[in-house]
A and B are shown apart, each in its own frame.
Chain A
Amino acid sequence: MPRFLLSLSFALLLTAARLTAAAVVQVHVTDAKQSSVADAVVSLIPLDAAPVFTPSTTPVVVAQQGQEFEPYVTVIVPGTRVNFPNQDNIRHQVYSLSKTKPFEIPLYGPGTEQSLLFERPGIVALGCNIHDWMAAYIVIVATPYYLKTATDGMARLVDLPPGRYRLEVWHPRLSGEANREVTIAAGDTAQQSITVILKPDRRIRRAPDGAGGGYK
């Protein structure tokens, strides 16, 4: 192959690679006081084409551990099955009155596990009817591009095809909505900072552990 042809094809390849090269969006979520916000769900919903996502084949787990749901916020795509293993030595109930997925799992014992399939996108607030302080959220997003912010408030979304997206941020204490439209060029590493307004942290202070904790 003549040298120039080689060069040409390499250049074309490069161009093709650049055209289809995945971009990166680094989102930083802060609150009104410019503090980093953890447990914020950041999702990018493609606007140019219908998003394609496949549910995880291995079940996602929201465990009952130390009379708390663990983790506090779980992000899944529709069609994902979530397991609720009871890892405590007491019984728990799980319910949600959310419109997305109203359900009740009656009291079930330690060591057992219940599972549910979440088919519709939306937010499902989980509660335990006998432990008022137990609360967790399952956020079902219809996009493969999502992530929960870490304690530094950062979510690094990778492998993003170029195009227009709606960047959505959700948090259990979010007041109002937080989203914006972003356009991502191929191979870009974009920085996005989003400031959200949070309601005061109103989680129920857990009652002193009377059921055995005192005898540990």
Chain B
Amino acid sequence: MKRADISRLVKDNIIIIALALPVILLTMTASGFMTVSNIKNIFIQISLYGIVAFAMTISIIGGEFDLSVSSLLGVVTILFTDIAKRVNVPVAILVCVSAGIVVGLINGFMVSKLKINAFVATLAMMLMLKGFALTYTNGRPINFPNPALNAFGNGDFLGMPNITLFFLGAFLITWYVLRNTKFGRNVYAAGGNLVVAKMVGINVDFYKTMLFVILGFATSVAGVLMAMRLSSGNTLFGGDLTMSVVAGVVIGGTSLSGGRGSAVKTFWGMLFIGVLFNGLQRLAVQANWQDVIKGSILIVVVSVDAILAQKIPLSQITTGRKRKEQISALPRDV
């Protein structure tokens, strides 16, 4: 193995090394960190957001971005509790999943057909969804004390929390789709270089729309599970969803400029966030300082990621100056 190969291996798996350090240190210092119940806790904490994080990974690889998931999650919890109360649970699940897909389709339509910038389109959607849910409920959360559903949302299956099984399922599906299917390859292509993707005949509009549909679907699943877990619906649930999820994806090493990243990276990224939050609480760090630490870590990680991202492709492209210029002249769709 050459020295360069080792250095590349380290760079590619930096998040695992980064994760190992706090884990070792916390195991040594915070009593009860390395226990089955605490590890379970960490996984429970990241499971629901994690489901959305994998969908967001696909979307960021495909070069798009969605601010509206945070509002959608709240809307889904409201819809689920309200309909489950008035009609029944299967109908509620059906309506919620359809709502997620419809919101995704509208976002996708705005971005791919109306050519509205994804940030603006999903910002508008975020406001509209939140306004809709708050108007509908007049700002009041809805309670739904149903012991069976609550037991499902908080229960275990073969020692694994149910919601963590959903998280692992989402991970495996995303991993498989991105790695082994034509769809996955085309998402990488569309996010990596829009112009080239169009030239080789990929239906870019379809893929862009699908990114939002997948996100809508994943968010609705997470929303239904959250409503079951908390026995209630609230517009404010998931207020920090978008940012936590994007942070997890980026910390894992998926590039915000599109075309690069993987489900495995996001898995480690979310786990890093879970360990960090759990560790900060276990060490009883004062709440305001927790925010300072979290914010600083985000800035550092993204900065370093951006620097590394610039260095790797340049060293890969060794076919001369002309090619480099050609590639850099192509527009990048952020």
A and B associate: no
